[in-house]
Amino acid sequence: MTIREILSDGLSLSISQSCQALEVSRSGYYKWRVQPERVPSANMDLKNQIQEIALEFPGYGYRRMTAELRYRGYVVNHKRVLDLMRQDNLLCLKKRFKPITTDSSHGLPVYPNLLKNTKITGLNQAWVSDITYVQLLHEHIYLAVILDLYSRKCIGWELSRNIDHQLAMNALAKALENRWPEAAQGLVHHSDQGVQYASKYYVDCLKEHNILVSMSRKGNPYDNAFAESFIKTLKVEEVFTSPLYVAEFNIKLRIRNNGCNDACRRNRHQIADQCMEEDQ
């Protein structure tokens, strides 16, 4: 006997007494009352078919699943297929490709970290550099930057589809063009141990300008935290929020016109008193 039958038979039992007699909770009864009456699912056959297709084609997403169902004679909307696949946990989770920007597995000479426990008191005492990637609509490109550690200003950058020593060299050339006439003796260039920065061309260029070579410890991003912070600010607050985030040309314009300078300004909020000379 159910509570519904008890009530329909006119028995003088309260809800509490009925629940106690049938050994069910009152909360469970009231939850059952607000639920629609169960009927045989019209989706069962469709769900079975979706599961069969998923076993046959494990990589199918809901769009291909919809096309296959229509090919098999089912009249179905892609939104319904998406919902059913989500219920059965059949949606494919694609692992997003993340380019590797630091290759430290090389036989080239590496250099100690000269910036450890060093206090930077002015411009052109230390430059920090790093390479990252920018994901576009249909491809990704690489960005190399060089910052003045004192002001956090980006003094050289370059974009390329290739991650090689030339990418880093072009960024360095811009930094030298922007700063070299005023660069002081004892300037330290700090980077990770990536092959681009350890290459003979790059190191020779630094030494020709009497720039000291400094590198982070292997696998330790904290040694180059300032460059990492700048790149995060640039990507999150400038590149990814731009409606022009669709092509390399537009990305270049975005970074050149806004990105680097705006990211610099945001990274300087903790050392604003030190940056008056840079903002002139």
Average pLDDT over residues 21-35: 77
Residue 211 main-chain phi, psi, to 5 deg: -95, 130
pLDDT in tens, 197-254: 999 999 999 998 889 999 987 766 667 787 878 877 777 666 665 544 544 445 554 5
Residue corresponding to tokens 């960024």: 171
Gap between the Cα atoms of 235 and 141, Å rounded: 13
The dihedral formed by the CA atoms of 107, 111, 117 and 123, expressed in degrees to the nearest 10:
-120
pLDDT at 256 over 60: no
pLDDT in tens, 81-140: 998 888 888 886 655 666 666 666 677 888 998 888 888 888 889 999 998 888 776 778
Average pLDDT over residues 21-42: 70
* Entry pTM: 0.55
pLDDT at 165 over 70: yes
User: From edge to edge, which strands make up the β-sheet containing 140-148?
Assistant: 154-160, 140-148, 126-135, 188-191, 212-215
The SS3 of residue 264 is: helix
pLDDT at 24: 80
| In the chain, beta strands by DSSP E | 126-135, 140-148, 154-160, 188-191, 212-215
Per-range mean pLDDT, top range of 18-22, 201-205, 261-265: 201-205
Question: Which residues pair with residue 134 across a beta bridge?
Answer: 141
Question: Which residues pair with residue 129 across a beta bridge?
Answer: 146
pLDDT at 269: 41
pLDDT at 249: 45
pLDDT at 37: 54
pLDDT in tens, 53-63: 988 887 788 88
User: If you average pLDDT over every residue of the chain, what do you get?
Assistant: 76
pLDDT at 225: 80
pLDDT at 159: 86
Tell me if 108 sits within 8 A of 213, measured CB to CB: no
Taking alpha carbons only, the member of 20, 23, 104, 88 closest to residue 55 is: 88
pLDDT at 236: 66
The CATH number of domain 126-274, selected from 1.10.3720.10, 3.40.50.300, 3.40.50.11900, 3.30.420.10 = 3.30.420.10
pLDDT at 181: 62
171 confidence band (pLDDT: 50, 70, 90)? very high
- Report which secondary-structure segment, H or E, holds 28: helix 26-34
266 confidence band (pLDDT: 50, 70, 90)? very low
